Structure 1
């Protein structure tokens, strides 16, 4: 269910392109309907052939973008060019059919609104300025519809009669045209600003919702894994105790070195189960959090006791005061998991060594763990820690749990290949309440 929710919050580029094409088909259909109505009712235009040619051109511009549906990296350019073409072709159609006196001049604002939704701020403002320029040219050029001879004669007869009033009427008309220009320009700018701001806010909220849903899925997976681990620890306690008793009975009549090794391994298993119980008990006790540097040193010492075969070189850089974490157990478990995986990688490559660099700065705390393994493939490096994965050494859940635990603390886990191994870096920012 969570995966479906994540998918539903994301709008695919192909879906966006389809909606954009549908909008343009609607605009072209409205233009064609207006042209047919004007032709049937003998609306005065400069040239009907040019109008039909412009309509065919507009139709062709909406077919070509579909050919680039697979090129998702160029969709923003396709949207920008298409909006520019819409403004240009609409301006030409209006120029041939009355200019600003045409009641459909408000259609110039439609590409501006679409650009504000689909494109970044600067580009949508460029589209708005282009629409304002088109409107300005329509005002300057005027009506290109050519009057017939009778209209010219009537204008000549009334020219002298209207001469005395022409000055006042012309001034009022110019003022009216200027007000129309200001109204259109302000409308275009306000539409671009408001719609673009709201679209950016919606995209930001959608992205955050998607991230929260992904975190919820990972936390649910972590909870399920923790439940399985608790059940496994409970189920292992009795068999381990039984095997210890059997070893004691066998040791009476047999002193084989293999039996000694078996006893050591059983003791190791018993210690792990006991440590798990102690960690769970500390969570129930809600102990006071410890400073992060002290906590790190304690868990490294604890890890070294369980892995005495690993040589560890530690480099410390202390340039600020220590700080505490709200979930010290989660951090400690994540650190031990990462150290175990790094040690296994080094041992698999014939080098039982690790290098750890600890840095405490004003900005936060970081641990860099260098192993001397064979490195990771690019695909493995990109997927590691995102979901539980199969691994040769175990179930492959350690890195996933480590990533989730660190991210719950506001930190990050990054990995990259080096010439002689892999670097795993843990960064935990200093809490704001403690930041000076």
Structure 2
């Protein structure tokens, strides 16, 4: 088995997710903090610093913010280049303030980590590396070159050499660690968000097909009687007008078109799902429906209803839910994709549980990712055999994530292992996916699903 992904998620970008207003607000907060620090340093601690130059640097940041506010709409999405330039400006503005206030002797040098962390959350990797590199270079220069901060007595405020060196090293480690950490966490959050979006789309599509099938079934049912009446009346009239070839030909055409309408509705009505009898189906029926799209793909799909069960009475009838159908269909698809010749779907049940096991005789799950199967966007290096079997396969894990999420939504627990070939009596590895529901979560709860159903509900279009 393997893991697939929809094409629309292969090119995921994050650069245009941040609005200009967000960075402008963050910059205003930084400006207020800088002004407050300047006032406290001069008026409360009586420190001797370059107030004029510092005011010019802060003023430049204020002008940049006003320029951004008035010349561009606040809800404008930033491009990679624009966001990078804004963060570089903030980083260099902070560097200028640190240059004028003691360099790394100033504890606010820690704020150099902020632009790097922000860049790691939404910018492409190359831009994040650029900002991190500028931050490292700037901190290294500030450790050697800066204007001193003096007290009124003329004493320079500076850290001992060893502490200054340790602070510089800790800042460099912080830039690297926070950048990598923030990027990794954010990437996983975005991957999970993309995968959940794909899951919702798959479920919505399955639900839409189900609802459409219900409408078609209702139409087939309601139109069946008038079409039968048209055919009956036209047949009787045809017998009476045999001596009039023109009328007989028209009546024969009417009858043939009624037959055609009946055949079309019968064909369309096969997808009908709104009948309450189709809402609750035997377990084997659900499996057959999930496997049907893959029956003609050159692999044998064997469905076994196990008789080795602790509760061997009649087969359970379960709810026919879109998430169950779509989830099982994804699992069967993955099994067929990587099976050598056969896939087995085995069912079993007892008084408390309902279980399905899907086995194939393929190469099995890669040992490097078997512990992470079901996570979205799990990558592994493809072998030549994998590439030949599925040329478009990228190993993203989204297919199994969707299946796992949908089935867990229905109350199931999934487990993944190897050894499917042995279960099929063949040599080799093979993959096994076991799906297990508490019976209460899928059982209709009315005489094992064999009781009266009541009237069908009105279909609303």
Q: Evaluate the alpha carbon distance shift between residue 293 and residue 272 of structure 1 in structure 2; reply closer, same or farther with a 3 A threshold.
A: farther
* 1:404 paired residue number: none
* 1:196 paired residue number: 183
Distance 1:96 1:365 in 2: 59
* 1:292 paired residue number: 297
Structure 2 counterparts to residues 16-415 of structure 1, below 5 A: 16-41=19-44, 43-66=46-69, 67-69=71-73, 74-145=78-149, 151=154, 173-254=160-241, 255=245, 256=247, 257-276=249-268, 286=288, 290-292=295-297, 362-363=388-389
Q: Is the 8 A contact 2:104 2:164 kept in 1?
A: no
Q: Evaluate the alpha carbon distance shift between residue 266 and residue 283 of structure 1 in structure 2; reply closer, same or farther with a 3 A threshold.
A: farther
* 1:6 paired residue number: none
Give the deviation of 1:231 after TM superposition: 0.4
Partner SS, residue 140 of structure 1: coil
Name which one, 1 or 2, has greater alpha-carbon Rg. Answer: 1
Give the deviation of 1:51 after TM superposition: 0.9
Q: Evaluate the alpha carbon distance shift between residue 70 and residue 197 of structure 1 in structure 2; reply closer, same or farther with a 3 A threshold.
A: same
Distance 1:284 1:96 in 2: 73
* 1:386 paired residue number: none
* 2:317 paired residue number: none
Which sections of structure 1, spanning at least 5 residues, go unmatched?
1-9, 156-169, 296-320, 327-360, 367-406, 409-431
Structure of greater relative contact order (alpha carbons < 8 Å, 6+ residues apart) = 2
Describe the superposition over 1:97-139 as per-residue Cα deviations: whole angstroms up to 9, x where unpaired.
Answer: 2222112121111112111112122322221221121111111
Q: TM-score, normalised by structure 2?
A: 0.53
Q: Evaluate the alpha carbon distance shift between residue 216 and residue 49 of structure 1 in structure 2; reply closer, same or farther with a 3 A threshold.
A: same
Q: Is the 8 A contact 1:244 1:263 kept in 2?
A: yes
Describe the superposition over 1:225-261 as per-residue Cα deviations: whole angstroms up to 9, x where unpaired.
Answer: 1110010111111111111111012112334222221
Give the deviation of 1:177 after TM superposition: 2.6
Aligned residues: 286
Describe the superposition over 1:331-389 as per-residue Cα deviations: whole angstroms up to 9, x where unpaired.
Answer: xxxxxxxxxxxxxxxxxxxxxxxxxxxxxx953599xxxxxxxxxxxxxxxxxxxxxxx
Partner SS, residue 144 of structure 2: helix
Distance 1:219 1:285 in 2: 16
Give the deviation of 1:199 after TM superposition: 0.9
Which sections of structure 2, spanning at least 5 residues, go unmatched?
1-12, 273-277, 279-283, 301-339, 346-386, 393-401, 404-429, 433-461
Give the deviation of 1:215 after TM superposition: 2.6
Distance 1:109 1:119 in 2: 15
Distance 2:218 2:111 in 1: 67
Distance 1:27 1:193 in 2: 24
Describe the superposition over 1:283-319 as per-residue Cα deviations: whole angstroms up to 9, x where unpaired.
Answer: 6894885323799xxxxxxxxxxxxxxxxxxxxxxxx
Q: Evaluate the alpha carbon distance shift between residue 40 and residue 19 of structure 1 in structure 2; reply closer, same or farther with a 3 A threshold.
A: same
Distance 2:299 2:134 in 1: 62
Q: Evaluate the alpha carbon distance shift between residue 49 and residue 70 of structure 1 in structure 2; reply closer, same or farther with a 3 A threshold.
A: closer
